[in-house]
Amino acid sequence: MGLATFIGGVHPFEGKELSQDRPIQVLEPQKGEEMVFPLSQHIGAPAKPLVQVGDRVLKGQIIAEPGGFISANVLSSVSGTVKKIEPRLVANGAKVNSIIVENDGEEEAIEHFGEDRDYTKLSKEEIVQIVKDAGITGLGGAGFPTHVKLAPKDPSKIDYVIVNGAECEPYLTSDYRLMMEQPEKIVGGVKVMLSLFENAKGVIGIENNKPEAIKKLKEMVKDEPRIEVCELLTKYPQGGERTLIKAVTGREISSAKLPADAGCIVDNTDTVVSIYNAVCKTTPLIRKIITVTGDAVTTPQNFEVRLGTNYQRLVEAAGGFKTQPEKMLSGGPMMGQALFTIDFPVAKTSSALTTFTKDEVAANAPSACIRCGRCVEVCPEHLVPVMMMKASERQNLDDFTALYGMECVECGSCAFICPAHRPLTQAFKQMRKAVGAARAAARAKAAAEAKN
């Protein structure tokens, strides 16, 4: 039997050798350092501030509450004073309302912070509430609130708890270092999650380019009858939620469905460790593992930093730039967000800062489509990007939708493989956004007409 995988995908240059053997370094905040906490670090409604300028806050304190059902708490990662509440720049280039706290260096934490706790003595409702209070969201994707994910309509129908240890994005190694250095927390987090779903088994999916992590996790779960390690074929985007579910279970879901509709709960390794820390160690989500890498940085490294830390500190801790980067990305080269500055904070969904001395994309001007069909061959969602691009060029939302354009996961495989260097993924992102806006406008119009 071959390794678990999916149909399609590509094999980009991995680049992981730059930082994969660099142990996680803890980078603590400095006294007087400004910590910035955006109120939109998750999918859904922005959080609502619970503090005012001048308030003193504690490490681990909830400083903003969920602004809706799909939303999440925001916590302070330091003790200090709220200096401002104002819009600040985040990784995607937008300005987001944020709470700015000046670190007082006292490290004064909320009551019971860091205490051991036995999850087996907690009810399912208590565990979900702890996860909610801890502000945990998906830490490897869009930031879906984890407490919502852990409370599906019918928990008895969940038969898979899948840990995404694929880390298929090139250059990123933070999840790998977690698997190597904190495997017991990953297994502990899975056990906490399995306590919520009595009919489920746990599966830790790891690409086969990480043999040491596979060996370590297999050793950790050898006496755990409900947990196993699944070796995945190294291929991008193996770590995508839908492709991972397909590889592990053989089940397929559309964009209109959630993993729970396929009987699955999927979280990445960092999220699972955060669940363990919150439930078993009374430590809410205030830290994040970040990879700083690429050929422009002096010493590629994996850092554990407090949420709210400015990216400039990470670059300084990595020895600075050995040469001025021509391209900087929040994330990796396939799905990362291009940056014009690194003056923004580490947030829950942050994963990496990748820097390059040369912008390979800009160096290759797009040309006419040669209709080679390679984009169709590699699409993990079985779409026809060549036709979707035609609809995009005409700004024809109806045709784009009819071609199942809203099923696109924006993985970038089509743009990567295109010999004409067509900006396919960029076009599809814009079209998906336009379709979403049109649908929202139609719903608003229908609601207004219904009132009249």
Cβ 382 vs Cβ 8: under 8 Å:
yes
Q: Please report the DSSP string for 108-142 in residue order.
A: -B-TTTT----GGGS-HHHHHHHHHHTT-B-SSSS
Per the annotation, does 414 bind a ligand?
yes
Q: What share of the chain is helix, strand, coil (3-state, %, to 5)?
A: 35, 20, 45
Per the annotation, does 264 bind a ligand?
no
Tokens 């994707």, residue located:
141
Give SS3 for 316: helix
Per the annotation, does 168 bind a ligand?
no
Q: How far apart are CA 34 and CA 30, in angstroms?
A: 9
Q: Cis link prior to 284 (omega < 30° from 0)?
A: no
User: What is the number of residues in the chain?
Assistant: 452
Q: Please report the DSSP string for 357-411 in residue order.
A: SS-HHHHS---------HHHHH-TT---HHHHHHHHHTT-HHHHHHTTGGG----
Pairing of strands 337-339, 327-330: antiparallel
Q: How far apart are CA 400 and CA 390, in angstroms?
A: 9
Please state the residue numbers annotated as binding site. 369, 372, 375, 379, 408, 411, 414, 418
Please state the residue numbers annotated as binding site for [4Fe-4S] cluster. 369, 372, 375, 379, 408, 411, 414, 418
